[in-house]
Amino acid sequence: MSSCRTRCLVSESGIRIRDIIDAIEARLLTQPSHMDRLVLSVCGADLMSDVLAFTKAKTLLLTGLTSIQVVRTAGVVDLAGIVFVRGKRPSPEVVELAEAEDLPLLVTDYPLYEACGKLYCLGLKGCSELDPGGRTGECLTSGT
Amino acid sequence: MPDVRDVGALMSVTYDIAARDFVRAGEAANKLKRLLQQLGLDPAVIRRAAIAAYEAEMNIVIHSYGGQIKVDITPESIEIFCEDSGPGIPDIEKALQEGYSTASEEIREMGFGAGMGLPNIQKSADKFRIESAVGRGTCLQVTILHEAGE
Ligand SMILES: Nc1ncnc2c1ncn2[C@@H]1O[C@H](COP(=O)(O)OP(=O)(O)OP(=O)(O)O)[C@@H](O)[C@H]1O
Ligand SMILES: [Mg+2]
C-alpha cells in the first residue's frame, strides 16, 4: 500500500491535466491539446448547486454524473475540466458539447473517494482551502 | 435566438426558456456569461450573474411551464428578470430554505434538486425579489452591482 506522499507537482500556477491523467490513470475524451490545461483545485460533487456554490476558477470537477448538465454547469463557473469517475462514459453529445465549449473531459476507473484522495496527495487543494472564508461569487484569479 | 439591443448605456437581452428541455437547459446562462465577458466586465461580477441566471434558468426548465429571462446591463448593475407561466410556488418562504426541493428522482439523477438554487441566487445577488402566484407563475428579479460594497 502506498501512503499519501506529497510529491509537490503543484506549482503556483497549478498542475497540468497530463499529470492528473498519470495520477488517476485517466483517459482524455476531448482534444489532445487539453493535456496542457492547468488545474488549481479539485472538487468532488454530484450536485450541480454545490458545484456552483463552492468551486473557484480553474477547479477540476470529479463527479459520478455524466449528464449534459454537468458540461453546462462547468461553462457557467469556468471549470478547468471534468473527470467522470468509476469508468462512466458520457454520451457522444456530451463530449461534442464539451469540445465546442473547449472543456477537457476525462474518465477514470477509480471511484470518487479514491480519485479525490490520489489528487489530494499530489498537493492539490480543495476549493475551501484555496480561499478560506471566501463567499460565493468571489473569483480567485482575474480574467479568463 | 436572443434579441440584443444596445440602447446607449443600456443593453438588453432576452432568452426564451422552454420547460423540460434538458438538452438546451443552461444555454441561456452560458450565452449571458459570454456576452458579459465580451463586455469586459469584472470576472467576479460575471460569475455571480452567470450563477444566478443559471439557477433561475434551471428552475424554469425543471419546475415551470416555460418562461423568459431578460437581462438589462446598465452602467451600475446587471438586472436579471425571470418570468414563467406557472404553476407558481405555494409557499415561497419554504422554497427559499436551503434543502427544500420538490424535484423528482429523475431530476435528482441529473444533479439537481438539492434545494440550493434559490439560496444560491440570493447569495449571488446584491438585491433579490421573488413573487409567485399559484396558477399564474413566478417572477424573480436579481440585481448584481458592478461595484459590490465589500
Ligand atoms: N420557477 C418556479 N416555478 C415553480 N416552482 C419553483 C420555481 N422555482 C423554484 N420552485 C420551487 O422551489 C423549490 C426550491 O427551489 P430551488 O431552486 O431552491 O431548489 P431545487 O430547484 O429544487 O434544487 P436545486 O436548485 O438545488 O437543483 C423547488 O423545488 C420548487 O418546488
Ligand atoms: Mg433550482
pLDDT in tens, A64-85: 999 999 999 999 999 999 999 9
Segment among A61-65, A138-142, B13-17, B79-83 with least mean pLDDT:
A138-142
**Which residue from B23, B43, B123 is facing A143, i.e. has the nearest CB?**
B43
Residue A49 clears pLDDT 50, i.e. is over it? yes
By 3-state DSSP, what share of chain A in percent is helix, strand and coil, each rounded to 5?
35, 20, 45
Which residues is B80 bridged to in the sheet?
Answer: B71, B142
Specify the pLDDT at position B10: 82
% of residues, chain B, pLDDT over 90: 90
Collapsed DSSP state (helix, strand, coil) of residue A69: helix
State the average pLDDT for chain B: 93
Q: Is the CB of B143 under 6 A from ligand 1?
A: no
* For the CA of A53, the nearest ligand: 1
Specify the pLDDT at position B70: 98
> Are the CB atoms for B76 and B25 separated by under 8 Å?
no
**Dist. CA B76–CA B43, nearest whole Å:** 15
How do residues B77-125 score in pLDDT, each as one tens digit? 999 999 999 899 999 999 999 999 999 999 999 999 999 999 999 999 9
Specify the pLDDT at position A89: 96
Tell me the pTM.
Answer: 0.91
Contacts of residue A74, Cβ cutoff 8 Å, sequence gap at least 6: A51, A61, A81, A82, A98, A101, A103
Q: Give the residue-averaged pLDDT of A117-139.
A: 69
Q: Give the residue-averaged pLDDT of A15-39.
A: 97
The domains found in chain A, sorted by start residue, are 15-125 (3.40.1390.20)
State the average pLDDT for chain A: 87
Residue B7 clears pLDDT 90, i.e. is over it? no
Contact list in A for residue B21 (CB cut-off 8 A) is none
Backbone angles phi, psi at B118, to 5 degrees: -65, -45
Nearest CA in chain B to A54: B120
Q: Which CATH class is domain B3-145?
A: alpha beta
Q: Is the CB of B67 under 6 A from ligand 1?
A: no
Q: How far is A85 from chain B (nearest CA, A)?
A: 15
Specify the pLDDT at position A31: 98
- Distance in Å, CA B20 to ligand 2 centroid: 13
Which residues is B113 bridged to in the sheet?
Answer: none
Which band of pLDDT confidence, cut at 50, 70 and 90, is reported for residue A141?
very low
Cis-peptide, bond into residue B87, ω within 30° of zero: yes
Residue A143 clears pLDDT 50, i.e. is over it? no
